[in-house]
Structure 1
Amino acid sequence: MGINSLSQYAPILGRVLIGFFFFFFGIWNAMHWRPTLEFMYQKKIPIAMPFLFLGIAWQTITGLLLMLGIWVKLVALLLIPFDIISVLIFHAFWNFTGETRRLNMLLFVANLTATLGALLLLLN
């Protein structure tokens, strides 16, 4: 198999990996919802619990749809603003110090990378 024959699978692999990113963190957030909810209360986010469960469903369902290749452009369009808003609320690393700052910087960059991947899916 040459590079040309492998390159036909690259867009599928990319879509599946981007979808897995969102699906994984949707499941992770569902399993660890209490600390996230407490953080949302600290940030004074109105109706935090409905927003939390909506966000979990959003990540999980859209991630699964991307992995399955269903409504890819629409899903990518829905994920881009969701992820930008989420990363600015939850991973604003400039508000932290020490190890918490480093962890949130990594999560900030990882989320923006996934967002750029969704943008590529939208434009492809």
Structure 2
Amino acid sequence: MYGLTKADKSYTFYHDETNNIRKLHIAAQALNVAELKVFVLGGVVHEGAPRPIDIGPLRVVMRVQKTASEIKLEHVAKGDFLDLLRSLTTFLRWITENGLMIHYHDLDPLYWSIVVDSILLENPELFGFMRR
């Protein structure tokens, strides 16, 4: 459809989110949040049904404690963008060796609130396509 390839295949996503403010309210004087940040949803994905993924070896080589409930960027990499990429080489190798891909999406909540919500208000028939 529309030139998309593999859109009819099954994928399993493992993800986390950050900076999700849930709802943005725009008032005449201010927003309902002190600092507006971009909402990010990202993680790993593989083709097919869910399957076991052993992150034990990854924790060992990245020196993440067994007691950490999640592997966060702050545990494995620091510095500017290029330093982060150098630090993440081990993780990227593990992704490849385990048949995984990275998925990433960022959304500007102010843009969404102004542009997308305005479109929806003018075209209520599109609400059926939105999840709130």
Name the TM-score, length of structure 2 as normaliser.
0.27
Larger Rg: 2
Q: Which has the higher helix share?
A: 1
